Amino acid sequence: MQSPETAEAMLQIAAAAAVSKGGEDLVALNVSEPLPLVDIFLLVTGNSERNVAAIADEIEDRLIAEGHKRVRREGRAESRWVLMDFGDLIVHVFHQEERVYYGLERLWKDCPVVPIDLPEPVAGE
């Protein structure tokens, strides 16, 4: 198991990658209390199957480039809800409809929100 600091560093990498591909409504939840083998869930919304796939691929590419190992990935073929398990960080990239339907924020509402530090957009972007 990695340290919570590693999970938070992974979160920042994944969040920046998601935003770079148009990911929206990012929410990170500390799920370490109810799920002792996981520290953080990152929830991201994409606006189409193609966008969901692009977001998931970018997150995976950046985390692997930083030396983090993906344990499992599910849902990439359909790209409606892609789940990527990086050990202490689990990333959920949803199509808008699936995000609302499954409502993971409601399910994990008692878990504290983890701050996400995103870079400021550059003028003209």
DSSP 47-99: SSHHHHHHHHHHHHHHHHHTTPPP-EEE-TTT-SEEEEE-SSEEEEEEEHHHH
- Which H helix or E strand runs over 10? helix 4-20
Q: Is the dihedral of CA 73, 108, 30, 101 positive or negative?
A: positive
Domain architecture of the chain: domains with CATH: 4-107 (3.30.460.10)
The rounded percent of the chain whose pLDDT value lies above 70 is 91
The pLDDT tens digits for 47-78 are: 999 999 999 999 999 999 999 999 999 999 99
Task: Indicate yes or no: pTM above 0.85.
Answer: yes
Q: Which pair of structure tokens corresponds to residue 36?
A: 């002792």
What's the pLDDT score for residue 84?
97
Give the pLDDT confidence score for residue 1 in this predicted structure.
46
pLDDT at residue 121 in the model:
60
Token pair belonging to 45: 């919304």
Residue 6, pLDDT score: 87
User: Phi/psi of residue 50, each to 5°?
Assistant: -60, -40
What is the token pair recorded at 11? 């979160």
Average pLDDT, consecutive stretches of 10 residues, N- to C-terminus, the chain (125 residues): 76 96 96 91 97 98 96 94 96 96 93 87 53
Residue with tokens 């979160």: 11
In whole angstroms, give the CA distance from residue 74 to residue 28.
19
